[in-house]
Amino acid sequence: MLKKIIILAIVVGFAWACKTQLPGSSDSSKKPNIVFIMADDLGYGDVGFNGQTKIKTPALDQMAKEGVVLTNHYSGSPVCGPSRSCLLTGTHTGHTTVRGNPNWTTSGADVVLKEDDITVAEELKRAGYHTAILGKWGMDEYGVSGQANAQGFDYFYGYRRHGEAHHYYPKHLWRNTEKVPLEGNIPEETFGQYSHDLVANEALNYLDERAKSTEPFFMYVAFTTPHYELTVPEDSKTPYENLGWEKRPMKKGHYYNDEEGNIAYAGMVSRMDRDIGRIREKLKEHGMAENTLVIFTSDNGHEYDRGFFDSNGAFKGRKRDVYEGGIHVPFTAVWPNKIPEGSTSNHQSGFWDFLNTACEVAGIAPTKKDLDGISYLNALKGEKQKVHEYLYWEFNEGAGPRQALRKGDWKLVRQYKKDDELYNLSNDIGEDTDLSKINAKKLKELQALILTARTDDPNYELVKIVKKK
């Protein structure tokens, strides 16, 4: 009898030990953590795993080797504000709340996230996650409803407003709703504490804190690199000096650029890559890597390059274009033992799919049933994946409204006071040959579909906008 009691005690004790592991350690019964890392204005071809040869991105290249690359992933918009709105709310620019950057509205009003918007952070909090946004928020120009802490994030550190993020040596950042003065910073002299470094270190500190808890977490790291202004500390320029590169002199204006652009741009990208590597190492250090899905992408296409870096790869256009160069972005994800190493997927996905994906990872259904997103989790895992009927974008700044719709291999591009353009991306990813004149049936099909892809919004009418002063 005593022997049976001893054996039972050993079994119970072993089971309890397995269940009560140290905080941060791998536990298959714990919901997976999610880390979403986003660059700002990084081109599809700016990373080594998509063919970049001049700029070194070893950490991202290693991530691609250990995980999956999605070759047909799209940002929410060709500029940052609406792209982030799509990411957060699971809706494309025909339906999302913020469809343009500040000042670019037909009503003249600045638009921020509304109280009744349900963000991915709010969904994950419902599933028991601790949530943090570090870096560029850019969804709050003036109002309480647009603040990160009012949209499901437990912790926020970085840039609150859109325009604040244009400078890397700002006089302050924000921690939740409080200003954090950066003593000694002189923005116009690019002197002081480099904001990218502060954000990267905050991400590492956050992971240290999460390692003390058994609570799952969602960490959204929104780096501002390599967005203008083009400036980076000297140690990131050193590897690119004396290589015989052509020079691109830069001037100071709204952006306090360094004197030489190409070296600064490459240094910014590599510094970001370095810190992504540090984030992944920190996850490993705390035993959290195996239970964490890490995603990397960019908020839209590049703005800086004029051909030296081949930032577009094969694509036409850049930031602010609805051609592929403005919206077709790099994407890689890693999740040990869940995502096959060294895999690729040509599944067509967009920023508005992330909310659905995160919900599936967390084991919940999205609150709203009329979202535009479809979870791409199966595509990440190399399994059979549901596909979109179509992908849609709209954008309206100085040149007037632009729209694009992709259905399968076919893409319609509609621009202000121009004839509609039609491309078959299966054999013309560079959008060089307009087929609208020789394939009238397909043109009419997509023209009819694009009329159904958006809802009217008095702030975002499809007319030419006169920018608010």
CATH number of the CATH domain containing 111: 3.40.720.10
**pLDDT at res. 321:** 98
In a domain, 452, yes or no: no
In a domain, 77, yes or no: yes
Instruction: Please tell me the chain's helix, strand, coil percentages from 3-state DSSP, rounded to the nearest 5.
Output: 30, 20, 50
Please state the three-class secondary structure of 270-303 as a single string. Answer: HHHHHHHHHHHHHHHHCCCHHHEEEEEEECCCCC
Query: Could you tell me how many helices (H) and strands (E) the chain has, helices first?
Result: 11, 14
DSSP 24: T
Contacts 24+ apart (CB under 8 A), 47-52: 47/269, 47/330, 49/330, 49/332, 50/313, 50/330, 51/310, 51/313, 52/309, 52/310
Single-letter residue type at 354: F
In degrees, rounded to 5, the angle at the alpha carbon of residue 145 between the alpha carbons of residues 464 and 132 is 110
Q: What is the pLDDT of residues 115-173, one digit of tens each?
A: 999 999 999 999 999 999 999 999 998 878 999 999 999 999 999 999 999 999 999 99
What are the Cα distances from residue 128, in Å, to 32, 218, 444? 11, 10, 47
In a domain, 448, yes or no: no
Peptide bond into 216 cis (omega under 30): no
Yes or no: say if 447 and 439 are a contact pair by the CB < 8 Å rule. no
In a domain, 407, yes or no: no
Q: Which residues of 247-265 are buried (b: 16+ CB within 10 A; e: fewer)?
A: ebebeeeebbbbebbbbbb
**pLDDT at res. 94:** 98
Q: How many angstroms separate the first and last alpha carbons of the chain?
A: 86
Average pLDDT of adjacent 10-residue blocks, the chain of 469 residues: 39 40 49 98 98 98 98 98 98 98 92 96 98 97 91 98 96 97 98 98 98 98 98 98 97 97 98 99 98 98 98 96 98 98 98 98 97 98 98 96 98 98 98 98 98 97 84
Tell me phi and psi for residue 449, to 5 degrees.
-70, -40
What is the distance, to the nearest Å, from the Cα of residue 81 to the centroid of all Cα atoms in its chain?
11
Yes or no: say if 459 and 105 are a contact pair by the CB < 8 Å rule. yes
Cα(320)–Cα(395) distance, integer angstroms = 8
**pLDDT at res. 143:** 73
In a domain, 459, yes or no: no
Model pTM?
A: 0.94
**pLDDT at res. 402:** 98
Give the torsion through C-alpha atoms of 178, 162, 89, 29, to 10 deg. -50
Q: Which residue has the tokens 């919206």?
A: 327
**pLDDT at res. 4:** 41
In a domain, 22, yes or no: no
Beta-ladder partners of 33: 292
Got the DSSP string for 69-121? EEEEEE-SSSSHHHHHHHHHHT--TTT-S--S-TT--SSS------TT---HH
**pLDDT at res. 15:** 41
Which residues lie below 8 Å from residue 363, measured CB to CB, with a gap of 6+? 31, 127
Range of the domain at 66: 30-389
In a domain, 20, yes or no: no
**pLDDT at res. 469:** 58
| Total number of domains in the chain | 1
In a domain, 375, yes or no: yes
- Read off the tokens for 83: 């792209």
Which residues lie below 8 Å from residue 313, measured CB to CB, with a gap of 6+? 43, 44, 45, 50, 51
Which residues lie below 8 Å from residue 268, measured CB to CB, with a gap of 6+? 196, 225, 226, 230, 231, 232, 236
Yes or no: say if 294 and 63 are a contact pair by the CB < 8 Å rule. yes
DSSP 452: T
391-397: strand order across its sheet: 391-397, 400-407, 410-415, 421-424
Say if strands 421-424 and 410-415 run parallel, antiparallel, or are unpaired.
antiparallel
